[in-house]
């Protein structure tokens, strides 16, 4: 085996690093008052081609989810087809975000926590369609490679549960 092959990171190491980059984006978004969703898209050579977080409040646009924005940025940088790219997202994507990734030709989708877990943690306050990504993939004539549960606890911890009635904490429920 060549030294380069022996030194190449495993898929587990690549996924861990990609998710840490997505977590950094989610934290940046949360610090700006956005829901804590972060995404990074990496091409086949390992180069980051897009990195962003939700911007629904900043843009006043409910479609400004991190995955959709990252796909737009990656397509602007590389062209409309993102074959060979991996999308890292801190949370299982909603149907809109999954479809954007699929239509752009993303090859692999790596996610942290599940939307059902976020919904439970947020006391039902998180407004998302909780359709498991495996269900979406099963309906897809060209399914994506799915890798779930990467840094799941760390991704879920970004969601701050709502306080008891009468508490004055801001909500992060979009």
Tens of pLDDT, residue by residue over 24-64, are: 999 999 999 999 999 999 999 999 999 999 999 999 999 99
Cβ distance 107 to 145 under 8 Å? yes
pTM of the model: 0.89
Catalytic positions are 67
**Alpha carbons 54 and 25: distance in angstroms, whole number:** 9
Taking the CA atoms of 157, 163, 168 and 174 in sequence, report the sign of the dihedral they define. Answer: positive
- List C-alpha distances in Å: 152 to 55, 90, 141: 22, 8, 28
The per-residue pLDDT of the chain, averaged, comes to 90
- What average pLDDT score do residues 161-172 get? 59
- What average pLDDT score do residues 160-166 get? 71
Tens of pLDDT, residue by residue over 53-64, are: 999 999 999 999
Q: What angle do CA 26, 104, 53 make, to 5 degrees?
A: 10
Tell me, what's the pLDDT at 17?
A: 97
Tens of pLDDT, residue by residue over 98-153, are: 999 999 999 999 999 999 999 999 887 777 778 999 999 999 999 999 999 999 99
In this predicted structure, the answer to whether residue 6 has a pLDDT above a threshold of 70 is no
In this predicted structure, the answer to whether residue 155 has a pLDDT above a threshold of 80 is yes
Q: Which residues contact 19 (CB under 8 A, 6 or more apart)?
A: 88, 90, 110, 112, 150, 151, 155
| pLDDT band at residue 1 under the 50/70/90 scheme | very low
């Amino acid at each position: 085996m060549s030294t380069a092959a022996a030194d190449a990171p495993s898929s587990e190491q690549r996924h861990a690093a990609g998710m840490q980059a997505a977590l950094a984006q989610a934290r940046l978004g949360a610090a700006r008052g956005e829901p804590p969703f972060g995404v990074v898209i990496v091409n086949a050579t390992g180069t980051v081609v897009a990195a962003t977080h939700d911007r629904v409040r900043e843009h006043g646009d409910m479609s400004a989810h991190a995955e959709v924005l990252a796909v737009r940025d990656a397509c602007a940088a590389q062209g409309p087809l993102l074959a060979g790219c991996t999308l890292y997202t801190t949370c299982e994507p909603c149907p809109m975000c999954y479809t954007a990734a699929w239509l752009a030709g993303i090859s692999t989708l790596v996610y942290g926590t599940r939307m059902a877990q976020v919904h439970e943690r947020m006391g039902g306050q998180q407004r998302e369609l909780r359709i498991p990504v495996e269900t979406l993939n099963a309906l897809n004539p060209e399914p994506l490679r799915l890798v779930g549960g990467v840094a799941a606890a760390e991704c879920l911890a970004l969601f701050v549960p709502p306080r008891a009635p009468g508490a004055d904490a801001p909500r992060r429920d979009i």
